[in-house]
Amino acid sequence: MLRVRPALTASGISRRYATAAGPHALVFLEHRAGVIDSGSLSALTAAQQLGGKVTGLVLGAPEEVQSAVETAKKLKGLTAVLHSSSAQYAHAIPETVSPLLEKLLSDGTSYTHVVSAHSSSAKSILPRVAARLDLPAVSDITSVEHDNASNATTFTRPIYAGNAISTVRAPGSVRVKFFTVRSTAFKASAADDATEAEAAAVDPVEVADPPTQHVRTDLTKSDRPDLGSAGRVVSGGRALKNAETFKATLEPLADALGAAIGASRAAVDAGYADNSLQVGQTGKVVAPELYVAIGISGAIQHLAGMKDSKLIVAINKDPEAPIFQVADVGLVADLYDAVPELVQKLKQ
Amino acid sequence: MRPSAVRLLNILVPIKRTVDYAVKIRVNPDQKGIDLNVKHSMNPFDEIAVEEAVRLREKLKDEVKSIKVVTIGPPKAAETLRTALAMGADSGIHIEVSDSAPALEPLGVAKALRAVIQREKDGVDLVILGKQAIDDDAGQTGQMLAGLLDWAQATFASKLVVDPKAKVAEVTREIDGGLEELKCRLPLVVSTDLRLNEPRYASLPNIMKAKKKPIEKLTPADLEVDLTPILESVSVAEPPKRVGGGKVENVDELIAKLQEAGFTAVKS
């Protein structure tokens, strides 16, 4: 008996049926050292909410792709995993990655949606690909709903630094709908031992003489939980005086709480913390179980990055600081007295 | 041996007039948009882009042949162009749309910018624009423009070094988790991040000088571009309100509140 398999050809062309097929999402799965990025797992959850098939896409250098694919195959909700290896894909440079995506999504493709995390890498790639296919893209969505009858997809997304929520609809006439996902709005998909998605290799589309070369990447090394996905965050502002004081004051508290460390823009601009720690409209958006804001005044742009946290605690010398308008628990105190006392008493 | 002609840099800086970043925006009762009867300014990231172009000229001097700024917007957007001219741009292009035109979408803007670039007789070597506009927070235009033109792109730039003779640029980018350095051939689209520079305030003499700098007026039809939005704006709503909780008197009370919510220290 013929076994009917989903056709995993380069462009994913499937048999056409008389009735409208459901959606088929292609999810860009970012990875490092064989681990799928948490943001991509949230993107996978969002893709599942479209209600149809979901194919994961893993790209990378040959030595990295294999382990990432093995992990991806076990992700609950993935129908299939497409993967492509090339030395050119080692750093996910948009100019070199785009041709493969354009090929997968060309006319006749079975993919109806392209989904990724709103990561610095994916949001540099997806709009480029979309434009080359003459298609729009929707950024940083917080909800998604697909209507099969009209083939329209409706999204919500924050605008004006999250001070308003926009509901936009990509009509059925949009051939492939691209969107990036705000990770804090979708729970990360989990692995499931019972799942074994089918994996298929796709030939890379190599670029002769790419215009952009990767020179180096400098990631801030930390044993701490990753800021973007941590359950608890301790964040410092301009009041922390300098880099040494920032570390010396906040690290004991973060250690005691098992928290990641974040920073306001003011603190990063002043050199107290690395730019990768910035929480805000144009930095990282976080929504941990606990967010402790130390010496942060609470500018609109900072609130945009943390106001969806479950419990917000603020310590600030100024009783009028705007942060107290969103904090669930506020303490007006000198942080240099309060934080050490807090650390000491927490450990008791 | 005759030296090869030095390629002079023609820089294009697209800018957007947006609601000023300090304005507390209000959603309209009809839930179709926000109250736009408020102060508007140049998108802060585009200010950084203009500043970067001017600094490139200060550094490279005659190797920067022209700095043009372009905007798509209603008549008032001309004021935003004048601000850029006062900061040091040479000339402006105003693609005028009506006050009641629907909000621009990145794909439409990218197509218009492509048309502008293609009609520039001297060509464009470098486009510098903000990484996102603080109204729609879409953050796509730079990438889309680079894609349409099939140019190199470098988003979220925190440092830009251009070598017009070698026709390459070294860009440091802010990425999740740290920094990345790229080497890009020109022509190139760069989108600016916060820490690329701190924009200057235009001096009064420069503001006066800017009044005489030329602004070319165009319509989308002149560029054969249709700016009709593809996505439908269904509604605009207020986010769920977050109400502040009370204040506690001291650290002991704070700890009690944390414990109530289930937060204790981790075992070290």
Q: Tens digit of pLDDT for each residue in A258-288?
A: 999 999 999 999 999 999 999 998 889 999 9
Residues of B in contact with A217 (CB under 8 A): 175, 178-181
CA distance A8 to B215: 53
Q: What is the pLDDT of residue A227?
A: 92
Judged by CB atoms closer than 8 Å, whether chains meet at A215 and B146 is answered as: no
> Residues 6 or more apart from B22 whose CB is under 8 A from it?
A300, B39
CA distance B205 to B231: 44
> Residues 6 or more apart from A36 whose CB is under 8 A from it?
A29, A30, A68, A71, A72, A75
Name the β-bridge partners of A263. Answer: A236, A278
Show the DSSP H helices in A107-239 as ranges.
122-132
Residues of B in contact with A131 (CB under 8 A): 107, 110, 143-145, 147-148
Q: What is the pLDDT of residue A41?
A: 97
Does A4 have pLDDT greater than 50? no
Largest CA distance in chain A: 76
Residue with tokens 């190599």: A206
Residue B222 corresponds to which amino acid? D
Q: What is the pLDDT of residue A20?
A: 58
Averaged pLDDT, A308-318: 95
Beta-sheet pairing, B247-248 with A329-332: parallel
CA distance B36 to B27: 9
Beta-sheet pairing, B215-218 with A152-159: unpaired
DSSP 8-state class, residue A323: G
A270 CB within 8 Å of a chain B CB: no
Element (H, E) at B190: strand B188-192
CA distance B141 to B16: 11
- Share the mean pLDDT of chain A: 92
Nearest to A338 among B155, B174, B251 (CB): B251
Does a cis peptide bond (omega within 30 degrees of 0) precede residue B187? yes
Give the long-range contacts of residues B197-201, CB within 8 A, separation 24 or more.
Answer: B197/B48, B197/B51, B197/B52, B197/B55, B198/B51, B199/B47, B199/B48, B199/B50, B199/B51, B199/B87, B200/B51, B200/B54, B200/B87
Condensed to tens digits (0 to 9), the pLDDT of residues B47-94 reads 999 999 999 999 999 999 999 999 999 999 999 999 999 999 999 999
Nearest to B137 among A161, A284, A331 (CB): A161
Q: How many CB contacts within 8 angstroms connect chain A with chain B? A: 265
Distance from CA of A299 to the nearest CA of B (A): 9
| Site from A38, A93, A125, A159 to mutate, B interface, most B CB atoms within 10 angstroms | A159
Does A40 have pLDDT greater than 90? yes
Does A113 have pLDDT greater than 50? yes
Does A9 have pLDDT greater than 90? no
CA distance A12 to A9: 5
Q: What is the pLDDT of residue A193?
A: 85
Nearest to B180 among A217, A324, A347 (CB): A217
Judged by CB atoms closer than 8 Å, whether chains meet at A160 and B254 is answered as: no
Q: What is the pLDDT of residue B241?
A: 85
Q: What is the pLDDT of residue B2?
A: 40
C-alpha dihedral, B100 to B104 to B110 to B115, nearest 10° = -10
Judged by CB atoms closer than 8 Å, whether chains meet at B143 and A170 is answered as: no
CB atoms closer than 10 angstroms to residue A7: 12
- The pTM score is 0.91
C-alpha dihedral, A66 to A71 to A76 to A79, nearest 10° = 0
By residue count, chain A amounts to: 348
Cβ atoms of A28 and A57 closer than 8 Å: yes
Averaged pLDDT, A212-233: 92
Condensed to tens digits (0 to 9), the pLDDT of residues A125-169 reads 999 999 999 999 999 999 999 999 999 999 999 999 999 999 999
Residue with tokens 């008549």: B75
> Residues 6 or more apart from A91 whose CB is under 8 A from it?
A214, A217, B180
Which tokens sit at A343?
A: 């650390």
Judged by CB atoms closer than 8 Å, whether chains meet at B106 and A136 is answered as: yes
Low-confidence ranges of chain B (pLDDT < 70): 1-6, 267-268
Q: What is the pLDDT of residue B268?
A: 58
Q: What is the pLDDT of residue B157?
A: 98
